[in-house]
Amino acid sequence: MVEIGDVVIYANTGTKGVVKEIKEKSGRKWALLDNGLYYITDLLKQASIKESAEKNDLSLSEIKTKLEEEKKMDLSKISDEVCGGGG
C-alpha cells in the first residue's frame, strides 16, 4: 500500500517521485506526487530506497532534496535560440 512520503515509480512511464497526498475519487485511490500530477495508486510501485541509494549513492533525504531543487530550477535562463550549424 502506498503511503504519504513513499518514494514510488509509475509503472507505465518510469516516473519517480515522492507521494505528497492520497485521495479517493470515483472509487479509485489517487496519489499526488511531488511533480504535481496524480497517479492511480494501483499503478505505482514502491521504489526500493536501498536500490536507489546503491544505484546513485544517495540517501532518501538527498533524493528528496534533489527533487525539490529540480522543481525550483529557473527555466527562464535557458535559451530557446537555435545555434548555427558548422559548415
Strand order in the sheet with 7-10: 38-40, 28-33, 16-25, 7-10, 44-46
Predicted local distance difference test score (pLDDT) of residue 66: 79
Ordered domains of the chain (ranges, CATH): 1-50 (2.30.30.390)
Handedness of CA 62, 63, 64, 67 (dihedral sign): positive
62 neighbors 55 (Cβ within 8 angstroms): no
Q: Whole-prediction pTM value?
A: 0.55
Q: Render each residue's pLDDT in the chain as its tens digit; 87 residues.
A: 899 999 999 988 888 899 999 999 999 999 999 999 999 999 999 886 554 445 556 677 887 887 887 777 666 666 666 666 665
